[in-house]
A and B are shown apart, each in its own frame.
Chain A
Amino acid sequence: MDIRELKRLENKRKMNKGYMWALFCAVLWALWYIPGTIIWAIPPFDTMWVAIDATHGASMATIIVAVLITAFNALTVIIALLVWNGVLGKFGEMKRTLTELHPCSKWFFLASIFGGPIAILGSFIAIGFIGASFAAVAALLYPIVGSVLAWKWYGEQISRRAAFGIVVIMIGGITIFVGGAIADIAAGGVSWIGYLGGLMCACGWGIEGAIAGKGLDIAEPDVGITIRFIGENVIWWIIIIPIVALAGFPVVEYAFAALNPLSILVLGFAGITFGYCYVSWYKSFPLIGVGRGQGIANLYGLCAVIFLYLFFAQVPPWTVLLGGALCVLGSFVMISEETGDVESIRGD
């Protein structure tokens, strides 16, 4: 075998590794919707919702409970990530990267703003107001945001085929949102905040991916994702939770009440699935690019619908199924291009 052929094979192996990480991400991300759904129904989050509903109404109750759940989600994710880095022996690299704020860590802190209080909170809001199936499928639009930003911002190449895939995903996303809204209007009411939550995840995760791609040029993915979650924990536990508490909501007392075995178990499962899905997401970007990484990770939508049916017998409406199928089809179109000759995702 000549060198050229060997290089092509090596490159293909590298791309396959990137796709494998993105696929891990899809499965773990989908699994996360199981604890993400259960957590609303267990103490103290169920009684917290009832208590806030009595004083501030149902919408405010859902948002405040979503804030506390998201904060705990960030906490269990960072524990999972610290275990991961400990096993890989990367604490030294983490310290070195963390102190390089200017060229490096700032990107991950910025990513944590879009990923945490926008995307993950948006996802929990969508779960709380509309349901996990909707939340899972609504975020499927995010690769459009991520790919377009990565292309415009730092020249990551998007092939004609990838662009076509994006259009298919976009049609799928519109089907999900407009179809759901029309059905809600016909039923007499629209959970606008739930749809806003869905849009928050699509935009938040897309922007986060593009920003993370920039940071990952010069940082290791395992370390980068951990710094990103350190940032998110700071945002929740040092900034937002104290502000919500000062606004008169009983978040601190319910935060202590959440330290019971059942919620620790469910939150722990959320931390493991989400933490490692994020590791896989970040590890795929340097190998196959933000656009392709997000495209294949989008298969989480399909996996989530399957898991939610298996575990909760939740059957989504036909608009979600059709829109989800289009998004998955679009993801396949995006990633089905020939990659054997692509040495750099920037095409230099």
Chain B
Amino acid sequence: MAGQRPIKFRLLELFSDEKEHWNNEIVVQIQKEYNMNSNFGRDSINFDILELASGGMLKSVESKVDEDGVYKKGFLLHKYAITDFGKVRASDACLEYV
């Protein structure tokens, strides 16, 4: 349920549709769900995504420079997809995913 589970669980859940998602879109969705609308909240969510990628649960499949400032002007935006290892951890954390 939105806003009820640890943020990394929810992130894995969102990526469990096996589609590719841009980090800025996911960050905006989580900000809404968890009522974390400050810049600190935004960066904290993005950091959780970075940690999931660093841990091998998400992989960056495409990158582009944020020319329009949709997240932070000049920063790299990443399109992530869940990895096989991510699916295993997601099935552990998100009972919905099999």
Contacts and interface: CB of A to CB of B under 8 A. Distances in A.
Interface stretch (A6-14, A74-82, A231-239): A6-14
B57 interface: yes
Give the size category of A's interface with B.
Answer: 20 to 34
A92 B89 CA distance: 22
Contact of A103 (B4, B85, B93): B93
Contact of A346 (B34, B48, B55, B65): B55
A10 B66 CA distance: 14
Contact of A345 (B6, B54, B83): B54
Interface in A4-50: 6-7, 10, 14
Given A93-B7, A104-B6, A287-B54, A220 B60 contact: no
A159 B50 CA distance: 22
Nearest to B4: A96
B22 interface: no
B6 A96 contact: yes
B12 interface: yes
B54 A100 contact: no
Interface string B2-15: 00111111001000
A220 B10 CA distance: 12
A343 B53 contact: yes
B90 to A, nearest CB: 9
A286 interface: yes
B66 to A, nearest CB: 11
A187 interface: no
A269 to B, nearest CB: 28
Interface residues of B, number: 29
Given A93-B7, A218-B9, A287 B51 contact: yes
B6 A218 contact: yes
Given A6-B76, A103-B92, A348-B83, A220 B7 contact: yes
A218 B63 contact: no
Contact of A220 (B4, B48, B85): B48
B54 A3 contact: no
Interface in B23-53: 34, 40, 48, 50-53
A14 B50 CA distance: 9
A217 interface: yes
B64 interface: yes
A219 interface: yes
A97 interface: yes
A344 interface: yes
B60 A343 contact: yes
B54 A348 contact: no
B54 A286 contact: yes
B76 A7 contact: yes
Given A344-B56, A348-B59, 17 more contacts: A3-B63, A6-B63, A7-B63, A89-B40, A92-B34, A100-B9, A103-B9, A104-B93, A217-B57, A218-B8, A219-B8, A220-B6, A220-B8, A223-B6, A343-B53, A344-B54, A345-B55
Interface of A: 3, 6-7, 10, 14, 89, 92-93, 96-97, 100, 103-104, 216-220, 223, 286-287, 343-348
12 contacts: A100-B5, A104-B9, A218-B6, A219-B6, A220-B48, A286-B51, A344-B53, A345-B54, A346-B55, A347-B56, A348-B56, A348-B83
Interface of B: 4-9, 12, 34, 40, 48, 50-57, 59-60, 63-65, 76, 83, 85, 89, 92-93
Nearest 6 interchain pairs by C-beta: A346-B56, A286-B51, A344-B56, A348-B56, A103-B93, A97-B6
